Amino acid sequence: MLNTTGSNPYNKDMETNNEISVLPTLEQIESAYSGRPGKCCCGCNGKHYHADNTGDYRGGGKPNDVKQIKRILGILQAVPAKELEAFGDYVSAEVEGRLYIVYRRAA
């Protein structure tokens, strides 16, 4: 379900197949996560992947892992927009028993 509670600056005017798309482009993604749903997302129940090799990484992970970020973004792009959860700097969905998240770069 699309969660648009609170102030969400990323839920604007991007339409895909007549639905609002809250997903960032590949260039806008700082990192991505794949892990077990219902657990924390610190990295102990999944993996974080990072687009570059700068800064502090959330939950560890490997730098420059664009291949995995593209894979996770592709999975989220296949999810109907109404089933995505978007809040603050992330968009997530549970797909086939796995939680996928993409984190947007700071503006």
Domain holding 71, by residue range, is 15-104
Q: Is the pLDDT of residue 71 over 80?
A: yes
- The total domain count for the chain is 1
Give long-range contacts, CB 8 A cutoff, 24+ apart: 10-14.
10/86, 10/89, 10/91, 10/104, 11/86
Residue 3 is assigned to a structural domain of this protein: no
Residue 43 is assigned to a structural domain of this protein: yes
Residue with tokens 């102030």: 7
Residue 9 is assigned to a structural domain of this protein: no
Residue 27 is assigned to a structural domain of this protein: yes
Average pLDDT over residues 76-99: 94
Q: Is the pLDDT of residue 91 over 90?
A: yes
Residue 20 is assigned to a structural domain of this protein: yes
How far is it, in rounded angstroms, from Cα 25 to Cα 43? 23
| Model pLDDT for residues 12-68, shown as the tens digit of each residue | 433 343 345 689 999 999 999 999 999 888 888 999 888 876 555 555 566 678 899
Residue 87 is assigned to a structural domain of this protein: yes
Residue 81 is assigned to a structural domain of this protein: yes
pLDDT band (50, 70, 90) for residue 97: very high
Q: Is the pLDDT of residue 92 over 90?
A: yes
- Report the 10 Å Cβ neighbour count for 49: 23
Residue 5 is assigned to a structural domain of this protein: no
Q: Is the pLDDT of residue 3 over 60?
A: no
Which amino acid would we find at residue 75?
I
Which amino acid would we find at residue 66?
V
pLDDT of the residue at 19: 46
